[in-house]
Amino acid sequence: MSTRKMASATLANLLIPLSGLLTSPFLSRELGPEGRGLYAALTLPIIVCGWLGTAGLQDALAYHLREGRLSRRAAATVSLVAAVPLGLVGVALLAVVGLFVFADDRGHHDQLLVLALFAPAHILANLLIGALTGASDIRGVNLVKVVPALVRTVLVVIACLAFDLSVFWAGLLFLASVLAGLALGLARLLRAGPPADSRADQGVPVRSLLAYSLMCLPGVLAGISTARLDQIIGLPVIGAKELGYYAVAVSVAEIPMVIGVAARTVLMGRPSAADRRLAARPARLATLASLVACAALAAAAPLAVPWVFGGAFAPAVLPTVILCAATVLYTSVVIMGAVLLADGRPGRSSAALVAGAVVGIVLLLVLAPLGAVGAAVASLAGYGVSLAVAVWAVVRGGPGWTPRMLTVPYADDIAAAWDWMRRNPAVARVTALARGTGVGTAGAVVLLSLAWLRTVVPSLVEMSISGRPAFNAPDDAVPGVADVLGDAISLAFVAVAAALAAVGVLRGRPDRWPWLMVVLGPLAAITVAGLVNQQPPGLVTLALLLAATALWLCPPDPRVLIAIGALGTASAVVSILMAVLRPDLALISGEAAGDKSVLLGGLLAGPFLHSNVLGIGLALSLPFVFGVRSRLVRGGMLLVVLLAVAWTGARTAQLAVAAVLLVHLLIRYAPRRWRGSTWLLSAPVAGGFALVVVVPLLTRDPEGFTERGRIWQALLDRWADRPLLGWGPGVFDRPELTDALGGRFTHGHNVSVHLLVVGGLLAAVLFAGLVVLAWRQSLAPARAGQPAPVLFLVALALVSLLEASHVSTTLTGYLTWLPLVLIVRLGPSRPAAPVGGGPAEPTQNRVVSRT
């Protein structure tokens, strides 16, 4: 139980910095550098006041509830009553601080006074956290912390998008969000508690609470000093530049601190076991987890820090590594302090924190010539002294606790943690799925994942080295490292496909060989066209042919299609995170954005060459998200993908996504007599592909469809010279074609035009046959409540109207070719052919047996 509580508290604590990470770019773009600094000056003093203003009463409430000397209702009453005088003192102190911070700016001083009125609410929130901690109500603690973070994230993002947000209103939204946590925290405390609360109904031990609080107060002051004072006094001591390096190092190294804080929350609650060794298990697991997390951060720092914060912050790497070591010590300090507080020895906990704070500040002054490195060493030494004093206090406390019991895991701790993970419902579902997965399913997931990595990883490396390349830049501009990495992933893809095909051959002759010929036909026709035009295929060109054969010979479970939706969601998440961390790499703005409206500083492209490429990938992945069973997971995935699609500004992709959503609603909510009818499932697909064929043929204006008319006319004229086999996939590399197209392009901006010029009439006809077969195979699953294949064909048709990069015969085209292969292979053994548009028989909904 304690392991589950610590995991829950760690996740909740982690959501708070994630909230700040998500809102930071919105605020930065909305307020600008100067406004962002002013926002911090208005809000940070109130946040610090919320910590200091408890005057140690937070830990006092936790202790007295833990020991059964105070009931939950009494704790709520004490918190409400104490928040009034403590809040008034806090407001008065903030008014004095404002005179110094805004000495020459009366307007902002007045704004600080208004915002300071929320200081009592922040003090009350921390008091409630203390009370809920002592009551071992981890869910209540999480609600008080997480709900305000979620509320302010939503409010700040919406306000930045919809309004012209000022610094004052941004601060008001940030500070007022705590009210949501207060309401939930009070509700949790005032509800009926466990039977243990009945012992505490005699009254409120006021003198004991005051004495305990006063003993905690020095530790509270020292803790805040250790966490923030070095940055406050660092400006005159080490200078602005070195302080900037140190601040970056702190922001990275303090992430694992959430583990120690979570363990503290569990340890200060009512013990989950009478055996102290068992009760201390969260402390030992937290120490191990902190060590692993800090080691990983330290190892990644040389690459991650310059990439995330920019090359100018490379000097912050060494301070980051040092502070990662300090964070491990901090975790142990927090754990030892929690044990001392829970045992009723707050004075010794405060002594440890005060000793560390004094040593840290003195060493900061002594090591100032070393800049950020000296500040990091001072923090490391300060935490070391705090740990030494805390260990001494624990040892002197008599029998019971030992430093080893609180820091070094036992073998049964690891076994218990592993058993908890296995019994976790989400982990259990994944494990069961993995155990039931055959070679075909595992191989298909690996192939899809490798293809996704091939489109993402090399471009990420390229951008990290050389910045965002110009759109349609020549291939020789790709750095050697990215090129080698891409080739390695491609070779891995080919090796897995070959192994999977070999397994299929050894298992025996599969059925429906003629259909395999239809599946391979378009790719084979384009390969032949290349050979005829002296363009010999490379290994990568043959990769999709080999993968299609492998998937046919060793068919996976139909649920493998969900992996495509998961990879699309991963593309959205990676792109959004890049926009948050490195907007200079992830966003396209200025002339490169063209006439598209720019959202949040630019068009979202992420690790892809253009926002249109990302948009197409998301549109083709979205249909398979509907195959996820969990409503919560499915809703979250849809939300992320839709946000990313909107941010790309890719109008073709947005049209395709809108059509997918509309068709999904029609299939689900159409009148019962229409559901499953052939015309309802077929009309969107047929209409979309009809537009793909007709629109370029009827377009005569060269400026039509954003100058695509010129491209289509030039390519159709080129195709007329070789109508049967076309010019091969290398036609776009011909210099004479660049002038005719009005620039350098890599595809025909319409699938029918592209296939005609690349593979001739043969490739176009064979592709049409593949689409028809996929449509026939998608009808039965749609009638059985699995509309993803039909929705994919709708998306494919609409993105194919004005784009064609997704039908590339290299691995960048995997989102077209592999889903088509899987839809045909995993459909019913005979294409559904209902009479009169009625529902198919149940036997027609059966899929190929699982591998």
Q: Are 127 and 57 in contact (CB under 8 A)?
A: yes
Residues 431-447 have a mean pLDDT of 76
Whether 716 and 761 have beta carbons less than 8 Å apart is answered as no
**Average pLDDT of every residue of the chain:** 83
Burial class (CB in 10 A: 0-12, 13-18, 19+), 702: middle
Q: Given a cut of 50, is residue 296 above it in pLDDT?
A: yes
d(CA 256, CA 570): 24
Q: So what's the pLDDT on residue 843?
A: 36
Higher-pLDDT residue of 617, 433: 617
Three-state DSSP class for residue 599: strand
Q: Strands 587-588 and 603-604: what pairing?
A: antiparallel
- What is the structure's pLDDT at 524? 92
* Alpha-helical regions (H) of 239-371: 240-253, 257-267, 276-279, 281-309, 317-342, 346-366
Name the amino acid, one letter, at 121.
Answer: A
The more confident residue out of 192 and 238 is 238
Query: Which is more confident, 519 or 602?
Result: 519
Q: Lowest-pLDDT range, 105-119, 134-148, 376-390, 818-832?
A: 818-832
Q: Does residue 845 carry a pLDDT above 50?
A: no
Q: Is the pLDDT of residue 444 over 60?
A: yes
Q: Whose CA is closest to 558, among 272, 827, 752?
A: 827
Residue 837 has pLDDT above 50, yes or no: no
pLDDT at 266 over 80: yes
3-class DSSP assignment, residue 677: coil
Burial 517-529 (b: 16+ CB within 10 A, else e): ebbbbbbbbbbbb
Q: Please, which pLDDT band fits residue 431 given cuts at 50, 70 and 90? A: low
Q: What is the pLDDT of residues 719-738, one digit of tens each?
A: 999 999 999 888 888 887 77
What contacts 349, CB < 8 A, 6 or more positions away? 216, 219, 336, 337, 340, 341, 390, 393
How confident is the model over 42-94, as pLDDT tens digits?
887 888 888 888 888 998 999 888 888 888 889 999 999 999 999 999 899 98
Q: Give yes or no for residue 645 having a pLDDT over 80.
A: yes
> What's the confidence (pLDDT) of residue 831?
44
Residue 849 — pLDDT band, cuts 50, 70, 90?
very low
Q: How far is residue 458's CA from residue 436's CA, in Å, rounded to a whole number?
A: 33
**Residue 493: which pLDDT band, with cuts at 50, 70 and 90?**
very high
Element (H, E) at 99: helix 72-101
Residues 358, 353: Cα–Cα separation, whole Å: 9
pLDDT, mean of residues 457-470: 80
Distance (Å, rounded) from C-alpha 302 to C-alpha 324? 13
- Please identify which residue in the block is written with the tokens 């493998």: 560
| Confidence band, pLDDT 50/70/90 cuts, at residue 27 | confident
Count Cβ neighbours within 10 Å for each residue of 745-767 and write b for 16 or more, e otherwise.
Answer: bbbbbbbbbbbbbbbbbbbbbbb
Q: What is the mean pLDDT of residues 760-772?
A: 95
- Do 560 and 441 meet the contact criterion of CB atoms below 8 Å apart? yes
pLDDT of residue 833: 41
Confidence band for 851, pLDDT divided at 50, 70 and 90: very low
- Confidence band (pLDDT; 50, 70, 90) for 560? very high
**pTM as predicted:** 0.70
Please indicate whether residue 850 or residue 151 has the higher confidence score (pLDDT).
Answer: 151
Given a cut of 60, whether residue 1 has pLDDT beyond it is no
* Average pLDDT of span 296-316: 82
**Contact partners, residue 429, CB within 8 Å, separation at least 6:** none
- Greater confidence, 485 or 82? 82
In this model, does residue 497 exceed pLDDT 80?
yes
Summary count for the chain: helices (H), strands (E): 35, 2
Contact 766, 727 (CB under 8 A): no
Strand partners, 587: 604
| Contact criterion met (CB below 8 Å) for 637 and 625 | yes
CA distance 359 to 295: 25
Query: How does residue 817 score in pLDDT terms, banded at 50, 70 and 90?
Result: very high
**What integer pLDDT is reported at residue 436 of this predicted model?**
54
Domain boundaries, the chain: 1-204, 227-423, 432-845
Confidence (pLDDT) at 509: 62
pLDDT over 90 at 219, yes or no: no
The pLDDT, as a whole number, for residue 117 is: 92
Distance CA 587, CA 687 (A): 34
Query: How confident is the model at residue 162, as a pLDDT?
Result: 74
- Per mean pLDDT, which of 147-161, 354-368, 608-622, 824-838 is the most reliable? 608-622
What's the whole-number mean pLDDT along residues 408-422? 79
Nearest residue to 568 (alpha-carbon basis) of 349, 818, 283: 818
Question: Does residue 835 register a pLDDT over 50?
Answer: no
Q: Is the pLDDT of residue 230 over 70?
A: no
Indicate whether 255 pLDDT > 80.
Answer: yes
The answer to whether residue 825 scores a pLDDT higher than 70 is yes
Q: Mean per-residue pLDDT for 483-494?
A: 87
Residue matched to tokens 């691995």: 811
Strands (E), 594-641: 603-604
Residue 405 confidence class, pLDDT cut points 50, 70, 90: confident
Task: Give the whole-angstrom CA distance, residue 708 versus residue 748.
Answer: 9
- 3-state DSSP assignment of residue 602: strand
Q: Quick check: 262 and 24 in contact, CB under 8 A?
A: no
Distance in angstroms (rounded) separating the CA atoms of residues 457 and 462? 9
